[in-house]
Amino acid sequence: MYHKVTPDPRSGGLGLRVPPEKFAAQMRYLREHGYTVVSLDDAVAFLKGVKSLPPKPVVITFDDGYRDNYLYALPILAEYGYPATIYLVAHAVGRYNFFDADRGVQPRNKMLTWEEIREMRAKGITFGAHTLDHPHLTHISLEEARRQIAGAKKFLEEKLGWPVVHFSYPYGDFNSQVAAIVAAAGYQTAVTSRQGVNYPGANLYTLKRIRVTGEYNLQRFAYELNRYLRER
């Protein structure tokens, strides 16, 4: 689980920001240590038990849809031929990260444009939804949660012209009612910020991820990749 990939410290702290040289080293580590980066769709087929995957499969995801994903992450991903999934805050596309910047918790960051999203899709990037406005979904009414979740799917599909079937919970905030709304809206999966590894038979609406921050050196990155494998 990534957010920003940029060298610019003005875009925010290392909790969400991974410098490009670290991201490149991490992608190289995956290649050199026997990991196979697979698409989210292939991972879902594996979790459903209908597709096999090579050993040590990894899915790369980005939350929010920052423009730096296009400027800095995409060239590195393309160098290795890696697919990835980016979860878009629908109303932030072509704008800025109002959901954090307007509250003063993050600097203002530019977000992906529609044109950049289309270009990235042609290069193997999948796009999911991260709601319309990035609220805490358990802090709002179920009616508003439904609008944020189903509305993002409808808005993105109308703008982009292709199905949007994957979802990420803003701030990792969800409960069973919110997960049920995601399923009812027609999404096939939802990812959380719960740390861990997913195995066949996993609940596709509460998928775990492994967070990567800009504070990690390569040794810590390797440790995080492996630490949850023992918890099965």
Joined together, the tokens standing for residue 213 give: 């921050």
Q: Quote the tokens at residue 36.
A: 């196979």
pTM for the full model? 0.97
pLDDT tens-digit map of 38-84: 999 999 999 999 999 998 999 999 999 999 999 999 999 999 999 99
Angle between helices 20-32 and 218-227 (to 10 degrees): 50
Structure tokens at 5: 């990939």
With contact defined as beta carbons under 8 Å apart, do 149 and 167 qualify?
yes
The DSSP letter of residue 106 is S
pLDDT at 15 over 60: yes
What pLDDT, in 10s, does the model give residues 130-144?
999 999 999 999 999
